[in-house]
């Protein structure tokens, strides 16, 4: 990590970048509020031989000892990353709610849910709401419904056109990336693909914001190393998602590891989202765990909502009924305030939310 002096000129920054790249290392510029930092990733010896300390504009050169580099808090000097997703902010003081059905099933189901999600976010798009829905579904059984694929993407595009909500949708296979990029504002990487490194690199190269779910049995360090695969391609728009991990407990589907929220914030500058729906596998646990996540300081939640949950093709037991969603949002908002965050994207719009 090369920390530039506050007085460093753009030319001095460029000279350092050129020198780092001249030895075959990658160089990433991280522009902070006060300081510019250059992350140099490559052979440590080669970079050291450049003797950058003493170069005009350079304040100091600091090795990052953690195995994850661009994801580490150190590189941003404790400053939080705030992502801009189609005008919705994720991270920092903002609280985002990503809501929608598990999977896109029909035009009516998708558009109806999208309108309900939009309306729960208040007038004028004041709330940090995003719409989720799977067109490509990672199913445990190869015989289960696998998603509508391209037709699902078309319906998501229609939901976006009608509501203005940014779209969060999963890619399982890099071969589907091109059509998904046409509609997705955020690409979801499912828990089962967290360590699909070629997919992570491909999504990194696409530059599309990514929501990276924690693997079923992955440590936080492994999650950050997976994020690093996306970041190292120059894609800085990564949010992490705790969605429950495997433990010995069988009373619920997964164990939601809420300690991951404050601990990840000590490790990384990236926003941390919590998915209570897939952790619980039961709708009665979604409200208490959403409130707990918000109060613990999560940057947002991702929850499943369906107009008629009992008829849902997948994850019927955990989807929230759409007609209860507005009340759900109101309670989560109060908990987010406890956690120091607001669903309002623009403080001047206070009152725009119900």
Check: CB of residue 94 under 8 Å from CB of residue 84. Answer: no
Report the nearest approach of Mn ion to the CB of residue 227 (Å): 22
354 binds, among Mn ion, ligand PEP, none (CB under 5 to 8 A by kind): none
Which lies closer to ligand PEP via its Cβ, residue 102 or residue 267? 102
Report the nearest approach of ligand PEP to the CB of residue 26 (Å): 29
Element (H, E) at 27: strand 26-31
Q: Which residue is nearest to ligand PEP (CB)?
A: 190
Q: Which of 211, 213, 179 is nearest to 195 (CA)?
A: 213
77 binds, among Mn ion, ligand PEP, none (CB under 5 to 8 A by kind): none
Helices 325-338 and 286-295: angle between axes, nearest 10 degrees: 30
Which of 243, 253, 306, 341 touches ligand PEP (CB under 6 A)? Answer: 243
Task: Tell which positions 86-125 bind ligand PEP, by CB under 6 A.
Answer: 102
HEC secondary structure over 122-174? CHHHCECEEEECECCCCCCCCCCCCCCCHHHHHHHHHHHHHHCCCEEEECCCH
Task: Tell which positions 137-156 bind ligand PEP, by CB under 6 A.
Answer: 138
42 binds, among ligand PEP, Mn ion, none (CB under 5 to 8 A by kind): none
Report the nearest approach of Mn ion to the CB of residue 144 (Å): 11
Residue 98 in tokens: 């990503």
Helix (H, G, I), strand (E, B) or coil at 326: helix
243 binds, among Mn ion, ligand PEP, none (CB under 5 to 8 A by kind): ligand PEP
**Cα gap 244→236, rounded to integer Å:** 25
How many residues touch ligand PEP under the rule CB under 6 A: the total is 10
Task: Tell which positions 86-105 bind Mn ion, by CB under 5 A.
Answer: 102
Q: Which of 80, 96, 81 is nearest to 342 (CA)?
A: 96
Which of 52, 226, 315, 320 touches Mn ion (CB under 5 A)? Answer: 315
Report the nearest approach of Mn ion to the CB of residue 123 (Å): 29
Binding range to ligand PEP, per CB under 6 A, among 93-101, 153-161, 189-197, 334-342: 189-197
Q: Which of 164, 258, 272 is nearest to 213 (CA)?
A: 272
Residue 44 in tokens: 């440590």
How many residues touch Mn ion under the rule CB under 5 A: the total is 2
309 binds, among ligand PEP, Mn ion, none (CB under 5 to 8 A by kind): none
Residue 8 contacts ligand PEP per CB under 6 A: no
Q: End-to-end distance of the chain based on CA atoms, in angstroms?
A: 46
What separation in angstroms does the CA of 200 have from each of 103, 205, 208? 22, 9, 11
Report the nearest approach of ligand PEP to the CB of residue 317 (Å): 14
Helices (H), the chain: 10-22, 44-49, 107-120, 150-163, 177-183, 197-206, 220-231, 260-267, 276-280, 286-295, 325-338
Contact pattern for ligand PEP over residues 197 through 226, marking x by CB under 6 A = ----------------x-------------
Which of 190, 204, 209, 309 touches ligand PEP (CB under 6 A)? Answer: 190
Contact pattern for ligand PEP over residues 262 through 281, marking x by CB under 6 A = -------------x--x---
Which lies closer to ligand PEP via its Cβ, residue 169 or residue 206? 169
Which lies closer to Mn ion via its Cβ, residue 104 or residue 260? 104
**Secondary structure letter of residue 5 according to DSSP:** P
Residue 157 in tokens: 């595009």
Residues of this chain that bind Mn ion (CB under 5 A) = 102, 315
Residues of this chain that bind ligand PEP (CB under 6 A) = 102, 134, 138, 190-192, 213, 243, 275, 278
């Amino acid at each position: 990590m090369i920390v530039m002096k506050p007085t460093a000129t753009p030319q001095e920054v460029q000279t350092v970048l050129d020198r780092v790249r001249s030895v075959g290392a990658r160089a990433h510029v991280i522009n902070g509020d006060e300081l510019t930092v250059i992350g140099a990733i490559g052979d440590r010896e080669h970079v050291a031989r450049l003797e950058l300390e003493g170069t005009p504009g350079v304040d100091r050169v600091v090795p990052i000892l953690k195995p994850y580099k661009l994801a580490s808090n150190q590189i941003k000097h404790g400053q939080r990353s705030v992502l801009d997703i189609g005008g919705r902010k994720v991270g920092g003081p903002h609280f985002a709610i990503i809501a929608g059905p598990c999977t896109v099933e029909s035009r009516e189901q998708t558009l109806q849910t999208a309108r309900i999600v939009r309306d729960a976010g208040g007038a004028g798009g004041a709330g940090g709401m995003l719409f989720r829905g799977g067109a490509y579904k990672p199913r445990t059984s190869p015989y289960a419904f696998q998603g509508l694929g391209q037709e699902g993407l078309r319906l998501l595009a229609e939901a976006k056109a009608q509501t203005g909500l940014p779209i969060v949708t999963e890619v399982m296979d890099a071969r589907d990336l091109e059509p998904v990029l046409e509609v997705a504002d955020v690409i979801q990487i499912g828990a089962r693909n967290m360590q699909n490194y070629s997919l992570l690199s491909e999504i990194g190269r696409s530059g599309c914001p990514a929501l990276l779910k924690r693997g079923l049995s992955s440590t936080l360090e492994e999650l950050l190393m997976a994020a690093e695969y996306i970041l190292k391609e120059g894609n800085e728009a990564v949010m992490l998602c705790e969605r429950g991990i495997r433990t010995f407990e069988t009373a619920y589907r997964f164990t939601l590891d809420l300690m991951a929220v404050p601990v990840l914030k000590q490790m990384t500058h990236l926003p941390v989202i919590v998915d209570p729906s897939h952790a619980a596998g039961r709708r009665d646990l979604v409200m208490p765990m959403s409130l707990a996540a918000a109060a613990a300081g999560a940057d947002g939640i991702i929850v499943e909502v369906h107009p008629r949950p009992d008829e849902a093709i997948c994850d019927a037991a955990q989807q929230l009924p759409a007609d209860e969603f507005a009340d759900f949002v109101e309670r989560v908002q109060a908990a987010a305030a406890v956690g120091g965050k607001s669903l309002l994207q623009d403080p001047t719009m206070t009152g725009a939310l119900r």
